[in-house]
Structure 1
Amino acid sequence: MKFLLKIASLLFHPIWMPLAGALLYFLVSPRFFPAEVIKAKLIAIAIMTIFIPVVFYYMMKTLGKATSHLMIEVRERKWPLMLQTVLLLLVLKFVLDYFDYPELYFFFAGIFVSTFIALLFVFFGKKISLHMTGLSGLTVFIILLSVHFNLNLIYTISFLVAVTGLTASSRLHYNAHSNKELVLGIFTGMLPQIAAAFFWL
């Protein structure tokens, strides 16, 4: 069980959630997108939301500014979250187009707002669960997609709800977060996605 909890923290790390949302969007969307366009968008999103942040993390670790990829300490979160807000703005500006990918565009707009809120918590010396922020935001997005496109995504949604619970248990087990921080993380992920849905749903 301990191994499963540890794996959950790694597999469902918030850094994967933007790419996971984009991948699921292209998989379930009834709209036609050329394969080369999908590939180009996914690669660009992966570079901006995964590869650049990972390189930045290792740079911080080399400089002694980070001790863990889980960013348990509040002070470790400031620069990665600031970088993430900038990278998300670049995705919205140069990678995704509102007219061609409205659902995906506002999914990333919601992620941007969630990241900015998490950054505000850091400036006030507080932290929230970024794992819960990422998973809850992704789950709400998939639920809204199922409604928007009238798709039966019950298995995908059930899986996301299950792994959200498993990951929450993992964060509590390793004393990475309190119950309050988990709840704040969930609402920080959910509410911006719900608000963004008013522009595309």
Structure 2
Amino acid sequence: MKEFILKGISFVFHPLIMPLLGILFYFSKTPRYIPEPVRNAKIFSIVILTIILPILLFFLLKTINKVNSIYLKSTRERLIPLFINCIIIVLILIRVLTPEEIIELYFFFLGILFSTLTCFILAVFKVKASIHMIAASGFFMFAVALSMHYHININGTIALMMVILGAIATSRLHLKAHTSQELVIGVFTGLVPQFILLNYWL
């Protein structure tokens, strides 16, 4: 039962869903008026580009034996998926979330791009960082920044996110997917770009 729960945590809070959670969180908290058709179009685009497309590309890479599992256990098999993900995020920044339209989400995804690039560079040098922790901690920093930006009280949400971060870390350690050092590297890789970019929109 314990094994099932911990695997479930890793699956439910998979890195692929974190960009979508970020945009949903933003639209649920922002006091700015954004027409519903615009919101729906952005959400739909993010689902296609950050979830469905990467899954399809994963199966393609698996078919040609470039990756073994969705968890990308070795640094070598991380290189191509991370590079492709960088291209996808650049496409989002150019075509979907421009700074003139929704500046907060633009810098959120710019932070994701920097985190992904950092993870790619680390993988080139055979340093493994937890992609789960990168994604979750980046989303956490963005949520905290939004609460500061719009002066909204989300203390309960922040507390829940911290519990979820702990649960993800526990899950990855228990499943022997990462060492504690790799988890710490992941946290900083996710947090730092979002934190640095706060200067440009907060």
User: Which TM-score band applies after superposition, normalised by the shorter structure?
Assistant: over 0.9
Q: Which residue number corresponds to residue 6 of structure 2?
A: 5
**How far apart are residue 99 of structure 1 and its match?**
2.1
TM-score between both structures, scaled by the size of structure 1: 0.98
Q: How does 1:117-128 map to 2 (within 5 A)?
A: 117-128=118-129
Query: How far apart are the structure 2 equivalents of 1:46 and 1:127?
Result: 27
**What secondary structure, in the 3-state scheme, does the structure 2 residue paired with 1:198 have?**
helix
**How far apart are residue 63 of structure 1 and its match?**
1.4
Query: How far apart are the structure 2 equivalents of 1:120 and 1:97?
Result: 26
CA RMSD of aligned residues (A): 0.8
Query: How far apart are the structure 2 equivalents of 1:182 and 1:14?
Result: 14
Output one character per residue of 1:136-191: Cα deviation in whole Å (capped at 9) or x when no partner: 00001000100000011112211211111001001100111011100000000000
Query: How far apart are the structure 1 equivalents of 2:85 and 2:160?
Result: 26
**How far apart are residue 87 of structure 1 and its match?**
0.5
Q: Which residue number corresponds to residue 156 of structure 1?
A: 157
Give % identity: 40
**How far apart are residue 97 of structure 1 and its match?**
1.9
Output one character per residue of 1:92-151: Cα deviation in whole Å (capped at 9) or x when no partner: 000012122111110000000000000001110111000000000000100010000001
**How far apart are residue 75 of structure 1 and its match?**
1.2
Which residue type is aligned with residue 176 of structure 1? A
Q: How does 1:147-186 map to 2 (within 5 A)?
A: 147-186=148-187
TM-score between both structures, scaled by the size of structure 2: 0.97
Query: How far apart are the structure 1 equivalents of 2:19 and 2:201?
Result: 18
Q: Which residue number corresponds to residue 86 of structure 2?
A: 85
Q: Which residue number corresponds to residue 193 of structure 1?
A: 194
Which residue type is aligned with residue 164 of structure 1? L
Query: How far apart are the structure 2 equivalents of 1:191 and 1:167?
Result: 19
Structure 2 residues without counterparts, runs of 5 or longer: none
Please tell me whether residue 71 in structure 1 is matched to residue 69 in structure 2: no
Q: How does 1:39-54 map to 2 (within 5 A)?
A: 39-54=40-55
Larger mean CA deviation between 63-72 and 109-118 belongs to 63-72
Larger mean CA deviation between 114-123 and 61-70 belongs to 61-70
